[in-house]
Amino acid sequence: MISYLAHLPNADRKTVEKIHQQKQAWINQPKKGFLRYRDPWEGVKHLRTGTLELQADVVKIGRREDISPEDHQRVYALMRNFMPWRKGPFSVFDIDIDAEWQSQLKWNRLLPEIPNMKGKVIADIGCNNGYYMFRMAAHQPKFVLGFEPYVQHYFTFSALRSFAGLDNLAIDLLGIENLPLFPDCFDIIFCLGILYHRPSPIEALRDLQTALKPDGCLLIESQAIKNEQPLALFPEKTYAKVPGTWFVPTASCLHNWLARAGFKQIKCFCTHPMSSTEQRRTDWMTFESYQDFIDKNDPELTIEGYPAPWRVFFKAKK
Ligand SMILES: C[S@@+](CC[C@H](N)C(=O)[O-])C[C@H]1O[C@@H](n2cnc3c(N)ncnc32)[C@H](O)[C@@H]1O
């Protein structure tokens, strides 16, 4: 049995196990794209550290002196193989990883609204490399499951978690669309930066609701446009150069979606414009970033001429 299922007694075990086995067989193929992460990880899989700092902006896992200089070189090479780093910052055995997103800013906006996490069963949907899961770990949750279908992020999280030796964090190659397999399973669900990537946001919200325990709490954050009306922008192809963007709602539109999906006690607790301070190119993410996505002559517009992105944060109960 997959060990994390012990925390999720209502899950559809058979189907989850079947998907898990299929995905594991898939990533264990000798394909170049998988070996790039898997092979260098094998060489450092045994490394553990007792030095963790999860309360501060930088997630610190280990110090340089915890491991040999040879292992340190190997860890550095592995961390570089995990590029581009989208979420962070991290310090891994004193290797400073400045990611594209200053994810501590989002975490600090969420923190005052998050219910007590101690002893709770939590899901992080689209967890990426697990930056927020490590921040959650500081609050002693019973267990956190990250849903993340992308192999690069799966391996990055798996390496970081294994160095940190945190047994109450786990990841699986699952997507938000797999949530119906987890009815009444989670006390708290984080769904950050996902909704505008879904072709059917209402279906996604209903699936989130299904997966919450009765009285469970959703923390949701989305890209948005600024407008008082309950509208959603539907881009022709890309939005701020990002393909796979479907509906970009206003705050009042997302409020209505949540209400009509059946959520209660809906509260919008933060809205802010995006900025090139929060999302930018670094040595660990060398591709285009926010400033390349925005009209050079008018920061109120995306490169496609749409209203520039804001972010909105909601809390809601099942
Ligand atoms: C914009 S990032 C947001 C990451 C993080 N939650 C945050 O807010 O910083 C979207 C994440 O969702 C993941 N993702 C892609 N398809 C997904 C799906 N079907 N279900 C859940 N996550 C998905 C991506 O790999 C990526 O890590």
225 pLDDT more than 90:
yes
Best of 100, 103, 171, 194 to mutate for ligand 1, by most ligand atoms within 8 A of CB?
Answer: 194
Q: In the chain, what's the furthest Cα-to-Cα distance?
A: 58
- If DSSP codes are grouped into helix, strand and coil, which group holds residue 30? coil
User: Of all protein residues, whose CA lies closest to atom 1 belonging to ligand 1?
Assistant: 193
Q: Is the CB of 194 under 6 A from ligand 1?
A: yes
Cα 44 → chain centroid: 24
Q: Closest residue (by CA) to atom 13 of ligand 1?
A: 126
Indicate which residue's Cα is closest to atom 27 of ligand 1: 128
Question: Can you list the positions of beta strands (E) in 23-182?
Answer: 52-53, 59-61, 87-88, 90-92, 95-97, 101-102, 121-125, 143-147, 169-172
What's the pLDDT score for residue 12?
Answer: 98
Q: Is the pLDDT of residue 67 over 90?
A: yes
* Residue 243 CB partners (closer than 8 Å, separation 6+): 237
Residues 6+ apart with CB under 8 A from 314: 218, 219, 220, 221, 254, 255, 258, 266, 267, 268, 269
119 alpha carbon – ligand 1 mean position (Å): 25
Percent of the chain with pLDDT strictly greater than 70: 100
pLDDT tens figures, 235-269: 999 999 999 999 999 999 999 999 999 999 999 99
Banded model confidence at residue 1, pLDDT cuts 50, 70, 90: confident
Find the domain containing 183 and state its range: 3-317
Which protein residue has the closest C-alpha to ligand 1 atom 17? 175
- Ligand 1 atom nearest 127 alpha carbon: 6
Query: What radius of gyration, in Å, describes the C-alpha atoms of the chain?
Result: 19
Ligand 1 and 129: CB distance under 6 A: no
Q: Which residues contact 177 (CB under 8 A, 6 or more apart)?
A: 207
Distance CA 180, CA 210 (A): 7
147 C-beta closer than 6 A to ligand 1 = yes
Q: Once rounded to an integer, what is the mean pLDDT over residues 125-131?
A: 98
Any ligand 1 atom below 6 A from CB of 193: yes
What is the number of domains present in the chain?
1
Average pLDDT for 5-20: 98
Percent of the chain surpassing pLDDT 90: 99
This prediction's pTM = 0.98
Q: What does the pLDDT average to over 191-199?
A: 98
Contact call for residues 211 and 187 (beta carbons, < 8 A): no
- The residue with tokens 């505008």 is 196
Q: DSSP characters for 114-126?
A: SPP-TT-EEEEET
Instruction: Assign residue 262 the CATH number of its domain.
Output: 3.40.50.150
